[in-house]
Structure 1
Amino acid sequence: MVAGGPIQPYGDRMTGSANPVTESDGRLERVLDAAADLLVRWGYQRVTVEDVARHARIGKGTVYLHFRSKDALFLTVLLRSHHHVVSRMADRMAADPAEVLPSRMTAAVYLDLVADPVVRPLYLGDPEVLGRLAHEAADSLGALSATRDAAARRLFGLLREAGALRTDLSLDEQQYLLQAVASGFLFVDSLPASDAPADHGRRAALIAHTIAAAIEEPGAEARAAGVAPQAVAMFRGLAAEMDQEWRRRVR
């Protein structure tokens, strides 16, 4: 995206998506889907394992066949949703090398979080939805978050070497700016809605425009092509780690 050019809704340009992770045992998916739905609707404190079982149309004992506790169940729900976000990110990069640019990547993730009511409160640390699970999730996702941040930092370094990012700001400053812009838009979206429905495609375009103008060089999209294979490998590796982590919690 060229700074100063027309800003079109970002969602119109998105390509690629990850297929949902599936299990041979469809009951597990039903349990996780039911738990995700109730987490968003009622919040962690109000939901019981019995509620999840009823919503999934299975017995409570079946839930405990897969998960030793309510905490384990809902942490798995959060991990699975986070995995989907990272997996879709890697798929977009593979489909379009320009998706490795911070502007494009952040705008697309913003749309993912807007569309995913489970992972959005995780990123916002929403206490009304997560309750005390917020602290458990921070601990459980700590190592994975560190790996994700390291991958993002490595990607920034590769893009700077390729001439796609400006070098008048430090890498730390560029990452801070990106996080501030993205989290600012997410925070605004969490405020009470106005009468007019939000145009999330337009907001994603504004995110991309702001980040591109702040840290990317003209012609960045062409220069990003050589970085894409390494970026795809990094983020697919991270998605695989997340996939293994949530599956590890299932009995």
Structure 2
Amino acid sequence: MTVNKVEVKRERILEAARNLFLRNGLRGTTMEAIAREARIAKPTLYAHFPDKDAVFLAIVEQLLAAKIAAFEAGLSGDGPVEARIGAALAAEFAVIAAILADSPHADELFAAHRQGAELFRLSDERVATRLQAELAAAGVAEAAALARLLLDAAFGLAQKAIGRSDLGADIRLLATRLIGPALPR
């Protein structure tokens, strides 16, 4: 199988940019620095991405794909619905935490997701729809409202405690406490 050289170069650019964004922040990273870190000429960088925002959005797209994959893997596990949903949400936010946890610019990067607001909205909508379906299948009467509450609360926990090692445990506990009482007896 032949590796596409354009894709290899694009991935090298995104890896270099991701490292710089984590190390220097979004505001502290320039296209020139990205080109230098990726060991390519600036015109080559601009052939792939028109500006720094486009580079950032490409990284956001990768992050969201990884986040959705982790969520789906957690949800497909064994156990009661509250444990599977807790595992899915913990896995989803662990993807973000793993990337941002050691960055001195985590708050800036977490807040910068507004640049990819539509991408995040679509990702969150997909997760909310899956949560709602799982909750409804388990017999939860207000599945849509509970799915929205779970996502909002998990997001708040992640934003406040992105670097804490017990974030996953907190999210799993949140799911257990909120879903358990809503299940039919």
Q: TM-score, normalised by structure 2?
A: 0.75
Partner residue of 1:159 out of 126, 134, 142? 134
Distance 1:105 1:114 in 2: 14
Equivalent AA in structure 1 for residue 168 of structure 2: A
In the alignment, which residue of structure 2 is the partner of 1:59? 41
The answer to whether structure 1 residue 108 and structure 2 residue 91 are counterparts is yes
Identity of counterpart residues, as a percentage?
Answer: 24
- Once the two structures are superposed, residues 105-152 of structure 1 have per-residue CA deviations (whole angstroms, 9 ceiling, x without a partner) of 11222222210229x9xxx8x4x3478x654322xxx1x444434433
User: How far did 1:212 drift?
Assistant: 1.4
Q: TM-score, normalised by structure 1?
A: 0.58
In the alignment, which residue of structure 2 is the partner of 1:84? 66
User: How far did 1:171 drift?
Assistant: 2.8
Higher helix share: 2
Which ranges in structure 2 are unaligned for 5 or more consecutive residues? none
In the alignment, which residue of structure 2 is the partner of 1:70? 52
Equivalent AA in structure 2 for residue 137 of structure 1: G
CA gap 1:85/1:130 in 2 versus in 1, 3 angstroms: closer
Contact 1:99 1:105 in 2 (8 A): no
Q: Which has the higher contact order (CA 8 A, sep 6+)?
A: 1
- Two-structure CA RMSD over aligned residues (Å): 3.4
Equivalent AA in structure 2 for residue 159 of structure 1: E
Distance 2:122 2:35 in 1: 34
Count, aligned residues: 176
Contact 2:70 2:91 in 1 (8 A): no
SS in 1 for 2:100: coil
CA gap 1:36/1:155 in 2 versus in 1, 3 angstroms: same
Which ranges in structure 1 are unaligned for 5 or more consecutive residues? 1-22, 221-251
- Once the two structures are superposed, residues 31-70 of structure 1 have per-residue CA deviations (whole angstroms, 9 ceiling, x without a partner) of 1000011111112222111101111122112211211222
Moved over 6 A (4+): 217-220
